[in-house]
Structure formats: C-alpha cells, structure tokens
Structure 1
Amino acid sequence: MNEADALDIFQAAIWTVLVASGPAVVAAMVVGLVIALIQALTQVQEATLTFVPKIVAVMVTIGISAPFVGAQISIFTNLVFSRIQSGF
C-alpha cells in the first residue's frame, strides 16, 4: 500500500462521514434556527426549549435517512474490502 492508496481511502472515509452525518446535522441546524427565531420574536429566552425539538427532529431524520446512510457506509466498506482483496 502506497501513499496514494492510503489517501484515497482516507478521502473516501471523510466523505462518507460527512455524507452520513449530513441529514442529522442539517435537521438540527434548521430546527435550531426556527426555534431561535421563535425565541427572538416572543422574547422567551429559555435555553432548554431548544433541546427537545432538536432531539425529536434528529431522531426522525435518522429514522428516515437510515437506508441512505447505510448504503453510503456499505459503499465505503465495499471500497475498502475491494482494496484489501486486490492487495492494495
């Protein structure tokens, strides 16, 4: 295994992490912005108010996007196993 192979696997791993975590992060960010806007409009500044909607949104998003995330991880796993099989 040379440096190029290691960099290819590392790049694929980073990309897989970004793509797999993307839906949950985007959902948390959108819900956080909406709650922050509501808090700013109503002047209710309760720090714990954002936790429950974010947790619910992230869990729902993970449930909906689980097949997509699993497919991305499977693609990465197949890439790594094919590199192992070919002897790098």
Structure 2
Amino acid sequence: MGFGGISIWQLLIVLAIIVLLFGTKKLRGMGGDLGGAVKGFKKAMSDEQSAEKQTSENKAEQIKNSAESKPADVNTTDKTKDNDKV
C-alpha cells in the first residue's frame, strides 16, 4: 500500500522527524490554529451567502411593493377632470 510511490514506512519516518523537530505541543497548537481558520472561513462563507439571500429577498419585496403602489386604472384621473369641467 503506497501513496504515489511512497510507502507507509517512509511516511511514518517523515512524521517522526516532524514531531522531533517541532514537538507535539507546537504541532497541536498549529492544528488548533488551522482548525480555527477553517471554521472561521466556513462561518464567513455562510454569513455571506445568507446576506446575499436577504438582499435578493429585499429586492423582490421592493419590486412587489412598487407594483402594488402603481394605479391600476389610469383613466380614473381623467374622469375627475371631466367632472370638474361640468
């Protein structure tokens, strides 16, 4: 079982050298920092998507409201002008 020509034993040796160089505490801290960064990135992406969804819902609501506020019959103003002339 290998990973692109690298055996499991070679990976274990590299891992052991990394642990000896950095120490377990520093590696644990780096892992925690990386996890926090990924979590923050996911939160920012979900916040951005919800903001975009809210914006599109607001635009749809504005369009709906503007369509409802327009007069349905333009001739109603003409009728009142005709009554004033009489």
Normalised by the length of structure 2, the TM-score is 0.33
Which structure dedicates a bigger proportion of its chain to strand? Answer: 2
The structure that has the greater radius of gyration is 2
Normalised by the length of structure 1, the TM-score is 0.33
